[in-house]
């Protein structure tokens, strides 16, 4: 199975038709049409109607199309879900998931044949319940965990700073739960729109922690995320070396080989093959 590339997941306000139109041409792997934080209360209904129309229009290419709804306990959540049932979006992103009970409620509202669920982990309760959320993933068709770092920092009353040190335990808990359940893990947004160094550092940190990609709030952030979460030329060259080495007749049946002074096992071969397959996926 080839894992889909999700280096960059760009939030686009569902109330802004020009932003949505622009998303169809941007170098992002995922477009998230946002009905929650980016939309004022008096614009929620109109934004929902616009999302339905834009999904019907299509034109997003190979980009994964996700809609972030309002939470079920808000005045708009149930109507958001009702509008999305049967529309064929790739996933529904649900804010403030705090346990398996929340997942069950969302799945019941979406229906068994509704789209997969992506869950925002942005509360202390959600972090504490990550093992249960991971165990409930298959039954609820949960396929991704997204770190909601802004809300989490607010609830923790911490001051993340440039290095995000206070958030590291929660970030690692999220990616650990995702890996245990075979889910995608996406890092939280960077609020610093005019600080390219901070964005690059956050993206590199997220990649180092094991995340698949980063959620973003502006198109100008795409290049940094795609670079940080995409393999470097050196990594691709090493991956090709590994694949070629195991394809050699003398080593094809071996579980581990010596390659350029390193021991390389078949688990490294699987990683190399996955990296090359992802690198071959088209942009947009």
- Residue 122 known to bind ligand: yes
State the first-to-last Cα distance of the chain, in angstroms, to the nearest integer. 20
- Residue 271 known to bind ligand: no
* CA dist., res. 116 & res. 233, Å (int): 33
Greatest alpha-carbon span in the chain: 68
- Residue 129 known to bind ligand: no
Quick one: three-class SS letters along the chain? CCCCCCCEEEEEECCCHHHHHHHCCCCCCEEEEECCCCCCHHHHHHHHHHHHHHHHHCCCCCCEEEEECCCCCCCCHHHHHHHHCCCCCCEEEECCCCCHHHHHHHHHHHCCCCCCEEEEECCHHHHHCHHHHHHCHHHHCEEEEEECHHHHHHHHCCCCCCCCHHHHHHHHHHHHHHHHHCCEEEECCCCCCCCHHHHHHHHHHHHHHCCCEEEECCHHHHHHHHHHHCCCHHHHHHHHHHHHHHHCCCCCCCCEEEECCEEEEHHHHHHHHHHHHHHCCCCC
* CA dist., res. 211 & res. 208, Å (int): 7
In terms of Cα–Cα distance, which of 237, 183, 175 is closest to 207? 175
Place of tokens 């947004």: 189
Tokens of 132: 């249960």
Q: Which segments are annotated as binding site?
A: 68, 122, 151
Q: Which segments are annotated as binding site for Mg(2+)?
A: 122, 151
Q: Which segments are annotated as binding site for substrate?
A: 68, 122
């Amino acid at each position: 199975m080839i894992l889909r590339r999700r280096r960059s997941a760009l939030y686009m306000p569902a109330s802004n038709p020009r932003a949505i139109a622009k998303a169809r041409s941007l170098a992002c792997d995922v477009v998230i049409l946002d009905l929650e934080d980016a939309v004022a209360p008096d614009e929620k209904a109109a934004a929902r109607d616009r999302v339905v129309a834009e999904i019907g229009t299509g034109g997003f290419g190979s980009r994964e199309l996700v809609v972030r709804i309002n939470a079920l306990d808000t005045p708009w959540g149930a109507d958001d879900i009702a509008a999305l049932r049967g529309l064929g979006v790739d996933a529904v992103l649900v804010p403030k998931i705090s346990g398996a009970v929340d997942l069950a409620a969302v799945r019941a509202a979406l229906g068994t044949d509704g789209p997969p669920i992506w869950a925002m982990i942005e509360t202390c309760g959600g972090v504490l319940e990550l093992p249960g959320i991971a165990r409930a993933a298959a039954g609820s068709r949960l396929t991704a965990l997204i770190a909601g770092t802004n809300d989490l920092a607010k609830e923790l009353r911490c001051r993340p700073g440039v290095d995000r040190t206070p958030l590291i335990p929660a970030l690692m808990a999220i990616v650990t739960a995702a890996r245990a359940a075979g889910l995608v893990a996406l890092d939280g947004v960077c609020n610093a729109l005019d600080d390219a160094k901070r964005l690059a550092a956050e993206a590199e940190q997220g990649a180092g922690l094991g995340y698949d990609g980063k959620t973003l709030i502006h198109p100008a952030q795409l290049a940094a995320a795609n670079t940080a979460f995409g393999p470097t030329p050196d990594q691709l060259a090493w991956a090709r070396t590994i694949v070629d080495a195991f394809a050699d007749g003398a080593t094809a049946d071996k579980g581990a080989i010596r390659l350029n002074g390193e021991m390389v096992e078949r688990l490294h071969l699987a990683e190399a093959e996955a990296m090359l397959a992802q690198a071959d996926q088209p942009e947009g």
